[in-house]
Structure 1
């Protein structure tokens, strides 16, 4: 049982590290795709900017405010999609969504730090916090792809 507690502790540390030291924080200049989303139930708010060239997310940044879960998830998401094709980024978002809903997901893909958020699935009220940035990314990339 103790190894499970160690994992929970490690995951909490990863989440807090992304919250306190967010990766890709800021706003990309003009010519980038901008998506604003908020979660009215808890006040989380995000502005996601992405630069897409030749179907690849070449850069992405986020600004926002909210709980540690929403902000660390945004940080992890921006790291995860940078350099990915639109389809692969959206696929990653679907995998993340399945993970949050406690469904089976394709674990052949290395999720890196994102795996630290899997415990959120046990707290239904927090799932929207964790998925906010991902939904913003998906919305922006789906509009871009049309």
Structure 2
């Protein structure tokens, strides 16, 4: 179990130190949504581009803790190339997982699975979720159900 925890920590640290798809584009074909967490200072903006029901790009910008920024980085890698319906299933399932709610283990969360331990730290759940909530807003123009 300790080896798995160390692997999870390593993945989070890698995405925090070397974030993927960081930086927003000045392009009107992208939808953008920003969420701030006033309790801890996390501030994330997600930008997504959808063509023919497929996510062709997903980017982020922001400041925050390692969990928040790593979660945004992992999200962008998972989302790019997915059909919107599949991306929604992954995002909804991820949010259930980190909240310790029943979720569908048959849906592959890919690297996002490393955030499963967040559920035992209630104060960090928001850190791990705001990028995903913003993503749902950019792609589906809906607020994630809490």
State if a TM-score over 0.5 links the two structures: yes
- Off by >3 Å, runs of 4+ in structure 1: none
Structure 1: state its 5+ residue gaps: none
Q: Which residue of 1 aligns with 2:81?
A: 83
Q: 1:120 aligns with which of 118, 123, 126?
A: 118
More helix by share: 1
Do residues 24 (structure 1) and 18 (structure 2) align?
no
Query: How far apart are 1:104 and its partner, in Å?
Result: 2.7
Residue 141 of structure 2 aligns to a residue in which SS? helix
Query: How far apart are 1:110 and its partner, in Å?
Result: 2.3
- CA deviation vs aligned residue, 1:41-94 (integer Å, no higher than 9, x gap): 111001111111111110011000000000000000011111112222111111
TM-score (norm 2): 0.92
Query: How far apart are 1:28 and its partner, in Å?
Result: 2.5
Task: Count the aligned residue pairs.
Answer: 141
CA distance in 2, matches of 1:110, 1:47: 25
Q: Which residue of 2 aligns with 1:140?
A: 138
Structure 2: state its 5+ residue gaps: none
CA distance in 1, matches of 2:53, 2:129: 23
